Amino acid sequence: MGAVHVMWLRQIKRYWRSRARMIGMLGQPVLFLLALGFGLGPIFQAAGQGDFISFLSPGIVAMTVLFSAMFSGIEVIWDKQFGFLKETLVAPVSREKIMLGRTLGGATVAMAQGIIVLLITVLIGFRPTWALIIPALLFMFAIAFLFTSFGIAIASKLEDMQAFPLIMNFIIMPIFFLSGALFPLDNIPSILEIITRFNPLTYGVDGLRGALTGVSHLGFALDAGVIVALCAIVFMLGSYLFSKVEI
Amino acid sequence: MPDKNIIEVNNLVKKFGNLVAVDKISFSVKAGEMFAFLGPNGAGKTTTIKMLTTLLSPTSGEIKVNGFDPTKEKHETRNSFGIVFQDPSLDNELTAYENLDFHGNLYHVEAKLRKERIDYLLRFVGLWDRKDDYVKNFSGGMKRRLEIARGLIHHPKILFLDEPTLGLDPQTRNYMWDYIKRLNKSEKMTVFFTTHYMQEAEQYADRIAIIDHGKIVKQGNLRELKAATKTKSLEAAFLKLTGKEIREEQGNVKDRMRITQRAWGRG
Ligand SMILES: Nc1ncnc2c1ncn2[C@@H]1O[C@H](COP(=O)(O)OP(=O)(O)O)[C@@H](O)[C@H]1O
Ligand SMILES: [Mg+2]
């Protein structure tokens, strides 16, 4: 087994062993789905925007993937504090491989969480176009990969979990709320439009929604191009910052 | 080349802000030697080991480990050593066996040999019947034994041991040192260790360096150290060189937290 594989496997084992807790973390997206979906659905429909559950479901799946991926990445801080990180840092393995294994592990976990929520959306009435499920899963994976790398990049620069509330309120939440996960991007104020255009998740959500419902605002090509390019850039940035970690 | 230096350190300095943790030290370790690095708490031993093992970059000075510069040739340096850290470094959410297997994989120990060594070492440290238990349920001493076992899965050119036997009972300490000594002989493995048990250094070290306040105050073999201080034991020589004042482990908050954790057997 190579280093990438063992790093990946470690994340999967940890996920499986804390599955009760991980399933518990799905409470939040499901609450969003139910409260907003059924609460705002009638208004959305009255405004001539169609079925809100269909619109919202891909956004909630993306939310789940975003949160799980960021948490997985930021977990590196725990490894730092509990000391396990030293074990990987002195290993005769390239930093890129360690980073890749860890990112793939976190991304797989985030995917699993996203798929569970996708199934829940189907249970409450979402009807995706199954024909494009493969591109949909690829978009989910890209979101997962991007934000796990991003989480690791952030964690590489931090000493402890004290900054976590700041990261939550000033990075994760804005990325989620300003991405078009919850509202359509047409006819929004131009300042908001500009902000959403600079938000990586916008492209992930739009691509995912395009694949699952056939309605995409920015177009598949742009969505896929931006998210893949960002995956590469943020992964390299994360590897670089990770290689600079000192204990 | 029996007298080749496998570790060379020249004027090594590490500062943390205003604190000079390692203050222009120079020493060398010969290939195949067992080298003890002794000093009171906070003397700078761990910091030195971290710089030798690529975990920290020096403020200034030169290091060669197995001919490589740990600041530039990190990968080659990492290929040359194994280490048992002073602080906890296990994954508590994995089992004992999984922790060792993870390590063997990272160090490219081929599957059959890996299994053989892991099985042997788990029995050796008395954890065979606990191999499938999560490490989080282990006592401090069990974790320490597991960390030592892990450090011995691959046989590197240089083995760093930072207070490896702290908190272990005398029987365990003895047979671990005997095993390490045998590896040192049979595999020509260089061993660089720190300890607070003077008897371990007396019995197993070929040469000893004594460090205090970040400076090396004396180095040589046991006979030389005793002669230079006109004392009869290493303990007496050590106390004469480093004084009798008790050292607080100053450290930052994180260090103190780790120390407390370990003291409570949870590290
Ligand atoms: N990361 C760090 N930041 C600030 N000070 C540190 C850090 N690591 C160690 N020190 C300080 O450097 C000195 C040497 O520590 P250390 O090398 O751990 O000593 P030893 O291992 O000999 O007990 C101590 O005063 C310690 O508090
Ligand atoms: Mg120390």
Ligand nearest to the CA of B37: 1
Please measure the distance between the N-terminal and C-terminal CA atoms of chain B and give it in whole angstroms. 41
Look at residue B210 in the predicted model and tell me its pLDDT. Answer: 97
pLDDT in tens, A126-137: 999 999 999 999
Q: Is the CB of B39 under 6 A from ligand 1?
A: yes
Domains in chain A, number: 1
φ, ψ for residue A80, nearest 5 deg: -65, -45
pTM attached to this predicted model: 0.92
Q: Looking at the predicted complex, does its ipTM rise above 0.85?
A: yes
Distance from the CA of B240 to the center of ligand 2, in angstroms?
Answer: 21
Six-digit token string for A147: 């934000």
Backbone angles phi, psi at B13, to 5 degrees: -130, 140
Our measurement of the distance from residue B194's CA atom to the centroid of its chain's CA atoms, rounded to an integer in Å, reads: 5
Is some CB atom of chain B closer than 8 A to the CB atom of A160? yes
Give the domain range for residue A128: 2-243
Q: What is the pLDDT of residues A91-122, one digit of tens each?
A: 999 999 999 999 999 999 999 999 999 999 99
Q: Do A91 and B78 touch (CB under 8 A)?
A: yes
* Ordered structural domains, chain B, with CATH: 32-56+75-263 (3.40.50.300)
Q: Is the pLDDT at B258 greater than 70, yes or no?
A: no
For A31-80, write each residue's pLDDT tens digit.
Answer: 999 999 999 999 999 988 889 999 999 999 999 999 999 999 999 999 99
Distance, CA of A100 to CA of B217 (rounded, Å): 45
Strand order in the sheet with B19-30: B19-30, B5-16, B60-65
d(CA B53, CA B32): 18
Q: What is the 3-state secondary structure (H, E, C) of A33-49?
A: HHHHHHHHHHHHHHCCC
Report whether pLDDT(B104) > 50: yes
Most A CBs within 10 Å, among B87, B91, B112, to test the A interface: B91
Question: Given this model, what pLDDT does residue B257 score?
Answer: 52
pLDDT band of residue B249 (cuts 50, 70, 90) is low
A244 touching B (Cβ < 8 Å) = no
Q: What is the DSSP letter of B216?
A: E
